[in-house]
Structure 1
Amino acid sequence: MVQPTPYAYGVNAFLQMPIRVQHSPTICALEPQADENFPKVGSKILDLTEYAVLDWKTKLNENAGKHPVWNINLIKILLGQQNGFDYTKCDITIHFLPRPQTKDEEFVALGITIPNFETGKTNIEIYYLDFQPNWKMVTWWEGNIEYYTYVDEPYYTGNLATDTQLAITIRHEIGHSFGLGHYVVSYERRQNIVKGMEDMPSIMIDTATILGVTHYDITSFDTGEIKSIYGQEGFDTISNEPKRAHLLDTSKPVYLTDDRIKISIDTSKFTNDTLGGLLIIDSNNTLADYLSISKSNSTIYLGSKYNDEKGKYWIEFINPITNEYDYTSFISGTQQTTGTMIQQPATPKVTQGPEDTNIATQTTIQIPSWIKNNAKWWSSDQLGDAEFIQGIQYLIDKGVMVVPKSQPSTSSSDQIPKWIKSNAGWWADDKITDDEFVKGIEYLVSSGIIKLNG
């Protein structure tokens, strides 16, 4: 049997990660939900996170003298504080879960970093269950030659991960959130590291491949790579900006319940060395799915599970070789028959005639209930103006949302007044009525920002 030669990526070098913080970051670490199997895991994991952040800060500021320039702020958010906390101050948010909550139950990892290229925020998920490799030999024939390779099908044991495994994973994922990709070493060197014959040259070696190591450190390779990205004066400057590739598209911005969700990928720009996959991220900035991609699959259809769970989803692609990225988004699970019927009094209409009377008419406005989610995201800047308007426009064009025509405004501005955005947030929180929210939509129609067909 023959083992095929893998693609030759740079050994003893970093892959790329097109994430950048725009200033000295604030990291928010959320205490995990109580786990009856591990009652002390919350305090343990928050302490490990504090040590990890301090380690990064100390290593980056080595030789900086009395005036450190690499500032990192950590906020530990306990369970009782999480509902009313202002998360807009968080640049990086760390969630701790027993295992991934993805729609694909076979997805196994120690942790994952989830950038949101639209908002500039990053989420990290750390999984605290013990994780073990499970290598299996896979064989296949090509002509008269039998090939083989080893495939890892790791699994969770159900036990709590060791402090060392958690400490390495937290430092590793924080490194990703700063813009570091994986550090690639040869198979032989990785084996030496696992056996304790050699120290880890970087905290960014893929943690799933070095399970069992007892010694770890953020090294000069790691801090040097960060300084090659941002320069020598801290996170406030960026000297190595990633590139957006414009590879992804969805067939439409909003999908109804029975629609088939289609993702198109421009694979003409792919090479045989293109790595990576698609991250599917839900409205909580949590990983919903991970889809492998290659040069041959330029169209992907998502399953009906996305139609069943209403909300906004982001699709993101990262190429760790070229440092390119792209993203797009869609809203799913809308039903034409779902909505709140509002009887909205119209402006009295004056009719000219023998009786010359004022006649007040009524119009019916239908607002799908899931729009409250969009309004909430928009009011908190998780959704851009153009995207919010595009979603409303699409619903109006398709007849899902019905808004009466009104007299055109004399204003020529295409700026959305702040009061409309504030109204959207208040409406999402049930602080104002449906009628008051509709007035904002009517203003957007009358000002020409939203256009009615016909």
Structure 2
Amino acid sequence: GYTAKVSWNAAHGSGAKIPFSFSFYDVAGNPVRDVLFAYSMIDDSGKEFWSNIGSSQSHLGILSSSGTSQESVLIPSNGNYQIKLILTGENAQNYESFYSAQSEFSVGSGSEQPVKKSAAVPGWVKNNAGWWADGTIADSEFLSAIKHLIKEEIIIVSQSQGSTTNSDEIPLWIKNNAGWWSQGQIDDESFLQGIQFMIKEGILRI
């Protein structure tokens, strides 16, 4: 399966075209090339006011050849909106069945509020946490997974907070927390906030 991420520059406000970035990743977190997708925008009354299904005569969807595509949409006024994303195929071939998802977002006058979405932690990261907790993989592989979450802005860390250090400095209780998280005893949000706090305080260095 694929993970899709939609983001936009919160510095842009209503009454102007806002650039939306669509990115696609495989289960390992690598960009997926040649994905076909379509999308639509829905206002708070439930009315669809914009859609783009691509312009090709041979397939339905916009071709994201590099794994990331940018689309600019005129948002008419301040308010709450939904964006509906539909995966229609890959490699210039449509799927027999399409896959869709929706996210809510708000637009103001130069709003700083990003697209509202739950922290989309890839499944492989949680698997790595469990394997690291039971000693199957090395500390460095767990840290690589955390770096991926930082890169994708699932964990927010300022430039001054992160630095490279020896993996043997990771406290044992962090490993215990990772194991509990992988087993569902700690929810995603609590674990991510804990990791973010530990990086900020210098307990865990990336």
Q: TM (normalized to structure 2)? A: 0.36
Q: Work out which structure has the larger RCO, using CA pairs closer than 8 Å and 6 or more positions apart in sequence.
A: 2
Q: Over alpha carbons, which structure has the higher Rg?
A: 1
> Structure 1 length as normaliser, TM-score?
0.18
Question: Which structure has the highest strand share of the two?
Answer: 2
